Structure 1
Amino acid sequence: MTSAPAPRPALDPDRIAAPDGWRVEVTEATPSTNAVVAERARAGEEEGLVVVTEHQTAGRGRLDRVWETPARTSLTFSVLLRPDVPAQDWTWLPLLTGYAVQAAVADRIPEIALKWPNDVLVEERKLAGILVERIETPTGPAAVVGVGINVSQTLDELPVALATSIELETSERVDRTGLLGQVLGSLHGLQGLLGDTASLRAAYTDVCSTLGREVDVHLPGGPDGVEVRRGEALAVDDRGALVVSTGEGTFTVGAGDVVHVRPRQ
């Protein structure tokens, strides 16, 4: 019989190390932090708002997948950004966010890597998910950057079978308040790479475990509404798209679901 997990402490707003100019608000529960931040952005909120919830009850991942975990077991938050870069470089924002999360946790879990475009993995187990949404506001376009990191879930509490948490990987208790400060600091500090996508591309490629792998790319189309194309993931191009090689040539994937078929040799 599995024993019940120990009580999880709440986030301590007084100890959150927010980057300069960023404002962190902690809520006990909300359906979606992305929805809250998007509403605030449309009402004129400035860049730097961070909304964190102890329990997200209707979170969404990429492709509208449900992402929900027990209260106080995760870091679930959204950040409002207004990137001052050309529109074509906004495609790098999801990849940058994944890279920032990976960099913030790498000292605890050296094997941590990224699956294109922004899933954070330990081997093939998902540790964190990211959803970036571009919205129009009265003062111009804004990005709502949503992040969900599994922190203390047990195997029974994980949202999907092939997932993991920081505490499962390290066997150590994690202070979520301190971890939140680390992740926010990483995202804040790396924002400048949006203006230097060549450097961002090199840094991202270095920690992306998708490259060199055989992958199945799920795209809209086909008789069942989904077309699956298999090939080898060769590179990330200068817009952040994945370049895949097949027997019929290469193609690029700007948006789609990518599944790793075999482990890297």
Structure 2
Amino acid sequence: MGKTSLKVGVLGAAGRMGQTACSAVMSDESVELSAAVDLNADSAEVSFDGVTLSGELGDFFKAKVDVVVDFTVAEASRTNLPLLAEEGIDAVVGTSGLSEQDFEWIDQKFDKSSCLVVPNFAIGAVLMMHFAATASPWFKTAEIIEYHHNQKIDSPSGTALATAEMMHAASDEWENDPTTKENILGARGAKLEGIPIHSVRMQGMVAHQEVILGSTGQTLTIRHDSTDRESFMPGVLMAVKGVGGLSNGLTVGLEKLLGIE
């Protein structure tokens, strides 16, 4: 008897990331696209290799999916994730804008299955964050600049926030910003854990971030660029295949699956 493929559902399947994720799942023989759902879909005429785009969350339950990949928005995730948790379905979440308070209830709700929230699916970006945290104890100043396409609705990005948190966990000895006057409010960025974060939104970009660390006489710049959404798909597939092996409750980031936490 052949090995049963992992049954995958994609939520937010009509969006750019959702469509790319559907294509990636269909291209991998070890997983099966069993349901594609978008609650805001205007038409059910779109199909992915025979899987018709649906507007009903219940189609995940009818298809008996093992894992759902969520590429919606934070407000929708707050409604949909508890329903997946009740059914014991694993979830991989690529939604931006979830808060620490969200993480608390997600961890509690997923007592029968696992939820993996991923700030950035690009493996290079995860390594960039890891390298920045590794370098942090050796520098006294740092700033983060993140760049995204102009359709991104939140700022700063989840990747930038996660990077600052990781850097703070590695070192809390950042020097205070000497700036005492901003000629334009916000010119020095928004600070998290003492690290300024700057957001750029522009046509022609996908997802980019650089971390600049400085000390006397030297700077270190760590940068990652995603120029195509295909760059996220190896991480999406890694998450889909790996989430079932994680402990019940919440896990944040691909680090555990990459063995670099």
TM-score with structure 1 setting the length: 0.28
Kindly name which structure, 1 or 2, has the bigger radius of gyration based on alpha carbons: 2
TM-score with structure 2 setting the length: 0.28
Higher relative contact order by CA 8 Å / sep ≥ 6: 1 or 2? 2
**Which one has the bigger helix percentage?**
2
